């Protein structure tokens, strides 16, 4: 029971429920199943990106280039569809995943082989990838009129009452959960985040593990590149501008420690969902966009403080027990 009360996932779920209840008191339609499903669907892309970012953060790294990766793969797939509309959509999606993974691998190689700090690498590739969007497109946009009907409509369909986009998020979440909890790779992500030196002595290749985390992050970014463009039916240099901060915020709010080694799939998903609910709720109650940014920022700071206090208090307890034993 005590462990349950300390669960970040439980408190996040209660916070989401509280926001829904409070907004519903003023606008009863907010809690209707159709609206809640829309919120979940709108947040699906952020959920997937948060899972990719979580994998990287667990290894004491960070990927600031995810949004730029998304924009570049999105532009490439949109241009490909506009030029060759007969290419099957599943093949285009697979291509996005491969290109995104390759961009993530580029980050991973620089971190692994050249031992450059991840924040420096991804801050650089953030700009490089965003610049490549302009280079490959010549500054032009690809809009709905140039995209095929299948390209636009695939993720707008439904299956068992849920939009296909939501199913993408569910499948990705399930796969990442299995990766993190049932495979050596997942255990290695956590291990090197907790103690990289000890991980080396257990036979874990720290550099290669970080590389794999960046590949996973890039692959998810590539998938979201197609989903973003097909959803908003516009590909341009400005796509997902500044979204990398929202992705990191979802992870931090979900209890993923920036110091590495701490975080769960459920926490990252709930962190993204919390941001989705708040961003949908604030306009409904008439809060200005400026206050929306301030409230979101306050939530991030609060989450960071809670994470830091949780880690610090855990250390103090261990020290006290050691002193008593002595």
DSSP states of 67-90: HHHHHHHHHHHHHHHHH-TTS-HH
Number of domains in the chain: 1
pLDDT at 316: 42
- pTM (two decimals): 0.89
Q: How far is CA 167 from the centre of its chain?
A: 16
The string over 287-298, giving b where at least 16 C-beta atoms fall within 10 Å of a residue's C-beta and e elsewhere, is eeeeeeeeebee
Domain residue limits at 69: 2-325
Instruction: Give the span between the Cα atoms of 215 and 93, in whole angstroms.
Output: 16
Q: Which of 12, 100, 258, 90 is nearest to 81 (CA)?
A: 90
Instruction: Give the span between the Cα atoms of 111 and 122, in whole angstroms.
Output: 9
pLDDT in tens, the chain (326 residues): 555 546 778 888 888 899 899 888 888 888 888 889 999 999 999 999 999 999 999 999 999 999 999 999 999 999 999 989 999 999 999 999 999 999 999 999 999 999 899 999 999 999 999 999 999 988 888 988 888 988 888 888 888 888 999 999 999 999 999 999 999 999 999 999 988 888 888 889 999 999 999 999 999 999 999 999 999 998 988 888 888 888 998 999 888 888 888 889 999 999 999 989 888 887 877 777 677 677 777 777 877 777 766 665 444 443 344 333 33
pLDDT at 92: 94
pLDDT at 326: 37
pLDDT at 322: 38
Instruction: Give the span between the Cα atoms of 174 and 269, in whole angstroms.
Output: 11
pLDDT at 319: 37
Q: Which of 63, 59, 311 is nearest to 192 (CA)?
A: 59
Q: Three-state secondary structure along 189-236?
A: HHHHHHCHHHHHHCCCCHHHHHHHHHHHHHHHHHHHHHHHHHHHCEEC
pLDDT at 71: 95
DSSP 28: G
Structure tokens at 304: 């960071």
DSSP 268: H
pLDDT at 22: 87
- Residue 155 near residue 168 (C-beta atoms within 8 A): yes
Looking up residue 94, the CATH number of its domain turns out to be: 1.10.3470
Instruction: Give the span between the Cα atoms of 180 and 189, in whole angstroms.
Output: 8
Q: Which residues, 6+ apart, have CB-to-CB distance to 173 below 8 Å? A: 47, 48, 51, 265, 269
pLDDT at 304: 73
Neighbours of 34 (CB within 10 A): 7
Q: Three-state secondary structure along 137-198?
A: HCCCCEEHHHCCHHHHHHHHCEECCEEHHHHHHHHHHHHHHHHHHHCHHHHHHHHHHHCHHH
Instruction: Give the span between the Cα atoms of 118 and 62, in whole angstroms.
Output: 6
């Amino acid at each position: 029971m005590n462990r349950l009360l300390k669960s970040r996932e439980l408190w996040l779920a209660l916070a989401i429920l509280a926001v829904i209840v409070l907004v519903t008191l003023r606008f009863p339609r907010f809690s209707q199943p159709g609206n809640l499903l829309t919120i979940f669907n709108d947040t699906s892309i952020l959920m997937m990106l948060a899972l990719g970012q979580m994998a990287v953060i667990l290894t004491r790294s960070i990927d600031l280039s995810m949004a730029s990766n998304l924009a570049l793969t999105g532009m490439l797939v949109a241009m490909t569809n506009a030029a060759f509309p007969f290419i099957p959509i599943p093949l285009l999606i697979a291509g996005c995943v491969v290109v995104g993974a390759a961009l993530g691998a580029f980050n991973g190689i620089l971190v692994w082989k050249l031992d450059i700090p991840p924040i420096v690498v991804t801050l650089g590739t953030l700009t490089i990838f965003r610049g490549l969007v302009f280079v490959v497109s010549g500054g032009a946009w690809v809009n709905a009129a140039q995209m095929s009907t299948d390209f636009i409509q695939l993720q707008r369909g439904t299956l068992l009452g849920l939009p296909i986009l939501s199913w993408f998020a569910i499948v990705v979440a399930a796969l990442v959960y299995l990766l993190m909890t049932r495979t050596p790779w997942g255990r290695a992500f956590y291990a090197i985040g907790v103690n990289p030196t000890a991980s080396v002595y257990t036979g874990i290749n720290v550099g290669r593990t970080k590389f794999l985390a960046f590949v996973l992050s890039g692959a998810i970014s590539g998938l979201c590149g197609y989903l973003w463009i097909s959803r908003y039916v516009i590909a341009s240099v400005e796509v997902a501008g500044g979204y990398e901060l929202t992705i990191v915020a979802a992870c931090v709010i979900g209890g993923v420690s920036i110091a590495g080694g701490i975080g769960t799939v459920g926490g990252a998903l709930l962190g993204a969902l919390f941001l989705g609910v708040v961003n949908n709720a604030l306009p409904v109650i008439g809060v200005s966009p400026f206050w929306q940014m301030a409230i979101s920022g306050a939530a991030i700071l609060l989450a960071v403080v809670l994470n830091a206090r949780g880690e610090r208090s855990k250390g103090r307890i261990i020290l006290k027990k050691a002193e008593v034993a002595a």
